Structure 1
Amino acid sequence: MSIAPDDARRDTQYLYRTMREFVQSMDDTLPGKFEITKEGIVHDMMAPVGPHELTTLRVRKRLEKVMPEELVAHTGTPDVEAEAEHIMRHPDIMVIAEADMEVPASFDPRTLIAAVEIVSRSNPDNDWVSKMRDYPLLGIPVYAIFDPRTGSGAVLSDIHPTPNGPRYATRKDFVYGEDVTIADWTISTEGLPRYA
């Protein structure tokens, strides 16, 4: 038996919608965060701990001090979704124009200026592997990773095509204590907490 391309697309779309309904039904039901990747549902079971949340807060505040007033470093909902790609993610910080937040549902990932992730102690591959693959596929031009496990991170940019799909061409590593540039704005990484 063969499956026509249109049937395969419908099956994939049905699977994505089913996963999306499941993720939405789990919000506020189970601890942690659910996201949809190319491989399926990712569940970061651990609730964010102090160093994760404090890093998110400090990076957000530092970015908002140097960005134009019409831009925000948003840490809330909704998710970023590309239904055509079957991906729904929730960055820790989304650099976005306030005007682009005026939508009834998920944010269009192409409106993000940057996505910032604070690496989870319980699932670091989600940030270092899966999101490094998904964010250029979604068209997010800059991806910054802060890793409280190691006191280091990286900023990825310059999306370019590869045989495995779009990928970031430029990677600039940093260690805590150095200044880091995310898109057009440079902030300090001084005083960011580490996991014990």
Structure 2
Amino acid sequence: MTIASNDARQGASLLYRTMRDFVHSTDDTLPGKFEITKEGIVLDMMAPSGRHELTALRLRKRLEKVMPEEIVAHTGEPDVEDEPEGIMRRPDLMVIAEADMDVDGSFDPRTLVAAVEVVSRSNPDNDWRGKMRDYALIGVPVYAVFDPRTGTGAVMTDIHPTPEGPRYATRKDFVYGEDVTVAGWTISTEGLPRYENE
């Protein structure tokens, strides 16, 4: 029984490393953004729109104004990876201590203070469902979602165990125009752009 369990873990680890190698081999060669979830590889085919990137920029600037200097709101690479769980994600914005960025390879998700996502027009379920599940599973204590389609969002906190695995216990919804608190820092959502035709 233990041998089968070890074989299953080794097989899952090999599958994950194969998926990770594929994702890394496609960086800058195929359109879209690849991530590894509990279900496998997810591809967001659409390049982020200007409004998506403008939202991430404004959130980064607003957070960095109120956070201590040693904490940053980082956009970009590397990924956040938990190999034992088989998950590799790249949040739109990572709130993290600058000292925790000094690593080779991916960031440890447990060093993040918060993950922030701007909902993609092309695949909103990835942000609202998949990432909400995965970030709790890999120990990211705060997950904030900003949705330019609807001008709404939510901040998830308080990871707790469930039969399906760790999940966020607390969800605070907001509408654009209200102040929102992300990991103890309050920022305005005034003036965040919306997608057109939504």
Deviations 1:122-151 (A, max 9, x none): 000000000010001110000000000000
- 1:6 deviates by 1.3
Q: Report the Cα offset of residue 186 of structure 1.
A: 0.2
C-alpha displacement of 1:7: 1.2
Q: Secondary structure at the match of 2:59?
A: helix
Structure 2 distance, partners of 1:24, 1:145, is 26
Aligned equivalents of 1:134, 1:147: Cα separation in 2: 18
What is residue 135 of structure 1 aligned with on the other side?
135
TM-fit CA distance, 1:41? 0.1
- Matched ranges for 1:46-125 at <5 A: 46-125=46-125
The amino acid that maps onto 2:175 is V
Unaligned runs of 5+ in 2: none
Q: Which runs of 4+ in 1 moved over 3 A?
A: none
* SS at structure 2 position matched to 1:193: coil
Supply the RMSD in Å over aligned alpha carbons: 0.7
* 1:73 aligned partner, one-letter code: A
Counterpart position of 2:180 = 180
- Could you say which residue in structure 2 is the equivalent of 1:22? 22
Q: CA-to-partner distance for each residue in 1:35-80, whole Å, 9 max, x for gaps?
A: 0000000000100001100000000000000000000000011000
The aligned amino acid for 2:42 is: V
| 1:149 partner SS | coil
CA distance in 2, matches of 1:139, 1:9: 20
One-letter amino acid of the structure 2 residue matched with residue 38 of structure 1: K
1:13 partner SS:
helix
For residues 78-119 of structure 1, the C-alpha deviation after alignment (integer angstroms, 9 at most, x for no partner) is: 000001101000000000000000001100000000000000
Distance 2:64 2:45 in 1: 29
Q: Which residue identity does 1:127 align to in structure 2?
A: D
TM-score, scaled relative to structure 1: 0.98
Partner of 1:160: 160
Task: Give aligned-pair identity as a percent.
Answer: 79
Hey, what's the Cα distance between the residues in 2 that align with 1:12 and 1:84?
9
User: Which stretch of structure 1 is more off in the superposition, 28-37 or 3-12?
Assistant: 3-12
Counterpart Cα distance in 1 of 2:170 and 2:181: 13
